[in-house]
Amino acid sequence: MDKEKELLEKIEKQTSEQIGAIKSEFKELVEKSHDGSITKEELDERLNAISKKTEEFESAVNDKLSKDLQKTVDELTQKFELEIGALKEEGFNQKPQSFRDRLAKAFEESGYIEEKDTTNGKTKAFTYFNDKEAKSAPPMEIKSAVDMTTANIYSTNVEAGSPFYTSYELAPVQIPLNNDMRAMQVFPVSNITTKYMGIIVENTYVDGSATTAEDTAAGKSSVLFETVEFKVFKINTYFHVPEENLDDVDFLLDELGRLAPDKIMTKLDSKILSASGDGSTDIKGLFVSGNYTAFASATTYADSQEGADIIDVIRKMKLQAEVANYNVNVVGLNPVEIDRIEGLKDLNENSKYNRIVKYDNMGNLVSVAGLRVMKNKQITANTCFVADVRYQKIGIRKDITMQIGLDSDDLTTGMRTIVFGMRAAYGGKDSGSVIYCADVDTAVSDINKA
């Protein structure tokens, strides 16, 4: 039995090594298939070689076994095949897709377009079919006017098989048409499954830690947590598309792939980086009272800095947060304020460039006072904020979805309406983690030492 046990352990080790080697090979093939550096013929040939190698290994193992161990080895082999099969399915099903690719898939599945046999390089080409020509087109019999653009009527999660339009769920994507840094690029993002996003916040804190004498009980420390709920809201945008555009569907996909995500993300930014909203009928913005702490320029930091400028304001805002035990890590600025910083001169009329202000190799402002710069036009000019982004949270209830159908007189005018939308929530854990300056010019004047 010792000899058989030793043999079994050896086989199990070899099986594990074989799995590891094939995993590495599969990973290489997946990467090559993603970047297009391997042809379909080469891919099939490599996969067949892996399959043959697996069969040869199994045969070699079986030749060395006694019948008593055959059952155990069969289980090992089955596990081996299942693991490799799962890896294959996972690797090739998770091929990254651009927003344009997903749009093309949605159109193709609906029967509006069909992939052509010819390709232009690596770019897929499509041709448009009208509803009668498309074999898999959804029914489009119009019995009454359909208002696709009324956001309060239609949910973004419309059941498939609707007689008026179909719904396709798309992945979150960021394709900026400008240089703004999106809120979703800065604040943590979580997927949520209900119409409310719950955030656990620290309600009260008691620090009872202290030095105690021998045989004396330690002080009692406690933290009281509570869950705060933030409502999910829908953000929609739509496009009217003439049938003439559908004849040039490749170009249409390019445009929609750029414009739709940018519209949605810009609107989400405008909701989060605002001083409006009540959390009941709209997203409660970051700068609504109760979500931030005001910069104490006229009290704590008045007359504290000679020759003060906007950089000194940011430094003092950071100091205010750190004194209150918050480690801020980002500063939010409108492009107007970034231009002010970039235009500052030293005594010799040279642009200021020191350890407080950092630029990248392209000359873009990336850091002020050790804080990452978040540039976004939705931040009101002549304001700014510093924050610890770990206390902020964006919840995604539904990723960007697409609906295509008829709106109003689309049928008679030869149009199609394409609606994009997402459902998201935003909330902050602690107002002390955000220091907000509502007037940079006034703050500069306050802290300047005459």
Claim to verify: residue 76 and residue 177 sit in the same structural domain: no
Which of helix, strand or coil describes residue 27? helix
Claim to verify: residue 74 and residue 163 sit in the same structural domain: no
Claim to verify: residue 166 and residue 79 sit in the same structural domain: no
pLDDT digits (tens, 9 = 90+) for 193-231: 888 888 877 777 888 888 888 888 888 888 888 888 899
**Predicted pLDDT of residue 441:** 96
Residue written as token pair 């430094």: 315
Claim to verify: residue 168 and residue 288 sit in the same structural domain: yes
Claim to verify: residue 75 and residue 129 sit in the same structural domain: no
| Interval 420-424 mean pLDDT | 89
Token pair of 285, please? 């913005």
**Closest listed residue to residue 293, CA positions, set 328, 269, 258, 345:** 328
- The enclosing domain of 193 has a CATH number of 3.30.2400.10
Looking at residue 390, what DSSP letter applies?
G
Looking at residue 157, what DSSP letter applies?
S
Q: Tell me whether residue 90 is exposed, middle or buried, using C-beta atoms within 10 angstroms of its C-beta: 0 to 12, 13 to 18, 19 or more.
A: exposed
Claim to verify: residue 48 and residue 85 sit in the same structural domain: yes
**Predicted pLDDT of residue 83:** 58
CA–CA dist 197, 185 (Å, integer): 19
Token pair of 100, please? 């344009």
Q: Is the pTM of this model over 0.85?
A: no
Higher pLDDT, 7 or 358: 358
CA–CA dist 63, 52 (Å, integer): 17
Token pair of 71, please? 């059952």
Percentage of the chain modeled with pLDDT above 90: 30
User: Average model confidence (pLDDT) for the chain?
Assistant: 76
| Interval 440-448 mean pLDDT | 96
Claim to verify: residue 50 and residue 168 sit in the same structural domain: no
Claim to verify: residue 174 and residue 291 sit in the same structural domain: yes
pLDDT band of residue 34 (cuts 50, 70, 90) is low
Sign of the alpha-carbon dihedral angle for 187, 191, 196, 201: negative
Q: How would you write 307-372 as a 3-class SS string? A: CCCHHHHHHHHHHHHHHCCCCCCEEEECHHHHHHHHCCECCCCCECCCCCEEECCCCCEEEECCEE
**Closest listed residue to residue 236, CA positions, set 106, 424, 105, 415:** 424
**Predicted pLDDT of residue 167:** 43
Domain total for the chain? Answer: 2
Write down which residue in 29, 58, 93 finishes a domain.
93
pLDDT band of residue 155 (cuts 50, 70, 90) is very low
Write down which residue in 93, 117, 136 finishes a domain.
93
Residues 6+ apart with CB under 8 A from 421: 151, 156, 234, 235, 236, 237, 264, 398, 400, 401, 403
Domain range spanning residue 18?
2-93
Claim to verify: residue 313 and residue 226 sit in the same structural domain: yes
Write down which residue in 51, 69, 93 finishes a domain.
93
Claim to verify: residue 355 and residue 446 sit in the same structural domain: yes
Question: What is the residue type of 223?
Answer: V
Token pair of 164, please? 């008026």
Q: What are phi and psi of 410, to 5 degrees?
A: -55, -35
| Interval 98-116 mean pLDDT | 65
Percentage of the chain modeled with pLDDT above 70: 63
Claim to verify: residue 21 and residue 153 sit in the same structural domain: no
Claim to verify: residue 70 and residue 134 sit in the same structural domain: no
